[in-house]
Amino acid sequence: MDGLRNNFSNLPSTSRETTCGSFLYQIKFPKSPGIDKPVETALTRLQQRTFIQMRTVLKVVDNSGAKKVMCIQALKGKKGARLGDTIIASVKEAMPNGKVKKGKVVYGVVVRAAMQRGRCDGSEVKFDDNAVVLVDKQGQPIGTRVFGPVPHELRQKKHVKILTLAEHIA
């Protein structure tokens, strides 16, 4: 049985931290001799997190009546939206008695993103899902409550009203 085990202890390796659910785990990739990049498989390429871009489905975390929205356009940046950025979205699922109906085009602020973001102190923050709070054209939230954690980076982006409605600031 000893021949079936992979032994990469004598090869240099790189590591990457990844979240799955609420668990944080680290993946180590052995380096191929003579190549600077780590060896990656199709599975590890799927785990890479990217920007919120066109056709990304996001969860709505306020009580405006919408459940899921699909991003139409990120209003800032060429690649896409990150934490605190404003997007234009279309409502895909909605509650029947909510303020927002299915098919309506709305503005939203990204409050949780699966893509990691570095902080000033050197730490990095990333969430399990992509979530948005719906706002009007002036930037005021449509709902009166915000569920789940919200990063404090929204204060720098001038979304203080969302922070006051949030139940937990990460």
Q: Can you give the pLDDT of all 170 residues of the chain as single tens digits?
A: 444 434 444 444 344 454 434 433 333 334 555 555 555 555 444 556 678 889 999 999 999 999 999 999 999 877 888 888 999 999 999 999 999 999 999 999 999 988 888 888 888 888 889 999 999 999 899 999 999 999 988 888 888 999 899 988 88
Query: What pTM did the predictor assign?
Result: 0.70
Q: Does the 57-169 domain belong in CATH 2.40.150.20? A: yes
Question: Residue 84's CB: how many other CB atoms inside 10 A?
Answer: 21
d(CA 74, CA 83): 12
Residues of the chain with CATH 2.40.150.20: 57-169
d(CA 71, CA 82): 12
